[in-house]
């Protein structure tokens, strides 16, 4: 597998599959403007202390960074992505309910979000390697947002907005924490099945 050359985050353009760099920049620019506008409108509509705004402040950055990651693949250092021995059998993640989350994400509208995170029809080493790279990119986006959103939780707690802090934390764990665990769980399965 390729080593990320940058010590913090590895960025790799994926613009060829989306029709070129200009198209990618245009989509990211529109997604950025739309996300910013919806966050501002939600802040005015619901207020900073409401659970509804807590959902928006977790969901919209996730969809924005997910859109961005379709054009620019990003990964954290290899040391982060390396699966630890306790993760290889998957039991820790099963105890935390990852299988239920996996079932939910395979059905209904959630299945539309990341169609590239399924086993390829041709299970060649190249195709499986590409799948793992996409899993790492998905894990990276959720891991970055999981950590950054903790700053929003800390800000709400510091202001005494306890409902906002608690609801943002819960949404962050569901929207970002569980997908991180799911990608690590799935990568462990991938390694066991296709060593």
Token pair of 163, please?
């409902």
**Which pLDDT score is estimated for 185?**
94
pLDDT at 193 over 90: no
pLDDT at 15 over 60: no
Q: Tell me whether residue 3 is in a domain.
A: no
- Pick from 8-22, 40-54, 131-145: least confident: 8-22
Q: Tell me whether residue 112 is in a domain.
A: yes
Q: Tell me whether residue 148 is in a domain.
A: yes
How many of the other CB atoms lie within 10 Å of CB of 80?
14
**pTM of structure:** 0.81
**Which pLDDT score is estimated for 6?**
43
In the chain, what is the straight-line distance between the N-terminal and C-terminal CA atoms, in Å? 13
Q: Tell me whether residue 4 is in a domain.
A: no
pLDDT at 189 over 50: yes
pLDDT at 56 over 90: yes
Structural domain harbouring 73: 10-193
**Which pLDDT score is estimated for 127?**
87
| Band of residue 110 on the pLDDT scale cut at 50, 70, 90 | low
Higher pLDDT, 104 or 8: 104
Q: Tell me whether residue 67 is in a domain.
A: yes
> How many domains in the chain?
1
What burial letters (b/e) apply to 91-105, b meaning 16+ CB within 10 Å? eebeeeebeebbeeb
């Amino acid at each position: 597998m390729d080593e990320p050359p940058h010590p913090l985050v590895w960025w790799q353009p994926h613009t060829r599959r989306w029709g070129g760099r200009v198209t990618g920049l245009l989509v990211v620019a529109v997604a950025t403007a739309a996300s910013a506008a919806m966050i501002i409108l939600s802040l005015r509509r619901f207020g900073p202390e409401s659970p509804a705004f807590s959902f928006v402040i977790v969901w919209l950055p996730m969809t924005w960074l997910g859109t961005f990651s379709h054009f620019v693949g990003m990964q954290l250092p290899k040391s982060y992505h390396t699966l630890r021995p306790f993760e290889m059998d998957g039991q820790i993640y099963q105890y935390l309910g990852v299988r239920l989350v996996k079932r939910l994400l395979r059905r209904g509208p959630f299945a539309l979000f990341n169609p590239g995170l399924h086993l390829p029809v041709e299970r060649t080493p190249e195709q499986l390697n590409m799948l793992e790279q996409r899993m790492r990119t998905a894990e990276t986006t959720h891991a970055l947002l999981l950590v950054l959103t903790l700053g929003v939780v800390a800000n709400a707690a510091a202001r005494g907005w306890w409902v906002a802090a608690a609801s943002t934390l819960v949404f962050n764990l569901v929207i970002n924490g569980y997908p991180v665990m799911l990608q690590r769980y799935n990568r462990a399965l991938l390694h066991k099945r296709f060593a």
